[in-house]
């Protein structure tokens, strides 16, 4: 603080940087408003706090993968029934794996709740 009880420019910039770093690290906008505001008197907006998210490619979205697998299974069963019958052990194994995972998932959810 200066002689007259005011912040010097260096102290004001340092305090502003500390507040800004806290807001950016924690994503807390209300703390920034409570501690102090920027020089313009306007608090930071959420656009400056959150980084821009990259858009996912369409083929890496899970529900689209599931829908494509269902469509592929239907097409194989309709156009190539013998191939579909030969893939039956693969489907049965998948169903067995899902059944095997149900009990541990229910147990973990019951314990953690």
User: pLDDT tens, 65-111?
Assistant: 999 999 999 999 999 999 999 999 999 999 999 999 999 999 999 99
Co-location of 18 and 37 in the same domain: yes
What is residue 27's DSSP assignment?
-
Assess if residue 4 is contained within a domain.
Answer: no
Residue 40 belongs to domain spanning? 9-49
Confirm if 35 and 29 have CB atoms less than 8 A apart: no
Confirm if 7 and 15 have CB atoms less than 8 A apart: yes
Least confident of 25-29, 52-56, 93-97: 25-29
Confirm if 66 and 46 have CB atoms less than 8 A apart: no
Q: CB neighbours of 109 closer than 8 A, spacing ≥ 6? A: none
Domain count for the chain:
2
> Is residue 39 very low, low, confident or very high in pLDDT (cuts 50, 70, 90)?
low
């Amino acid at each position: 603080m200066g002689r007259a009880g005011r912040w010097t420019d260096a102290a004001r910039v340092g305090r502003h940087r500390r507040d800004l770093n806290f807001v950016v690290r924690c994503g807390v906008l209300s703390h920034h408003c409570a501690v102090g505001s920027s020089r313009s008197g306007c608090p930071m907006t959420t656009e400056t706090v959150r980084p821009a998210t990259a858009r996912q490619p369409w083929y890496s979205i899970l529900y689209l993968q599931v829908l494509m697998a269902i469509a592929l299974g239907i097409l194989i069963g309709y156009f190539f029934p013998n191939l579909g019958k030969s893939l039956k052990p693969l489907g049965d194994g998948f169903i067995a794996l899902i059944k095997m995972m149900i009990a541990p998932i229910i147990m973990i959810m019951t314990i953690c709740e």
